[in-house]
Amino acid sequence: MTEKVSLEAFVGKKAGMTRIFDENGNHIPVTVIELIPNKISQVKTKEKDGYEAYQLSYSPKREKLVSSPIKGHLKKANILEALCQSSEIETENVKAENLGKVLSYDNFSAQTYIDVTGATKGKGTQGVIRRYGFRGGPATHGSHFHRRPGSIGCRATPARVFAGKKMPGHMGTTKNTTQNLVVVEKNEEKGYMLIKGSVPGSKNSLVTIRKAVKK
Q: Tens digits of per-residue pLDDT, 121-163?
A: 999 999 999 999 999 999 999 999 999 999 888 788 888 899 9
pLDDT at 202: 95
What does the pLDDT average to over 187-195? Answer: 96
Whether residue 42 has pLDDT greater than 90: yes
Top-level CATH class of 4-122+174-211? mainly beta
Mean pLDDT of the chain: 94
Q: Return the pLDDT at 2.
A: 60
Residue 120 pLDDT greater than 90, yes or no: yes
Q: Between the CA of residue 144 and those of 71, 139, 147, 168, what are the distances in Å?
A: 59, 9, 9, 18
Q: What is the pLDDT of residues 60-85, one digit of tens each?
A: 999 999 999 999 999 999 999 999 99
- Domains of the chain: which residue ranges? 4-122+174-211, 125-171
pLDDT of residue 53: 96
Q: What's the pTM value of the predicted model, to 2 decimals? A: 0.86
Tell me what the mean pLDDT of segment 24-39 comes to: 95
CA quadruple 54, 55, 61, 62: dihedral, nearest 10: -100
Q: If residue 132 lies in a helix (H) or strand (E), which one and from where to where?
A: helix 128-132
pLDDT at 158: 86
Calculate the dihedral angle through the C-alpha atoms of 195, 200, 202, 203, rounding to the nearest 10 degrees. Answer: -10
210, 50 contact by CB (below 8 A): no
CA–CA distance, 209 with 9 (Å, rounded to integer)? 5
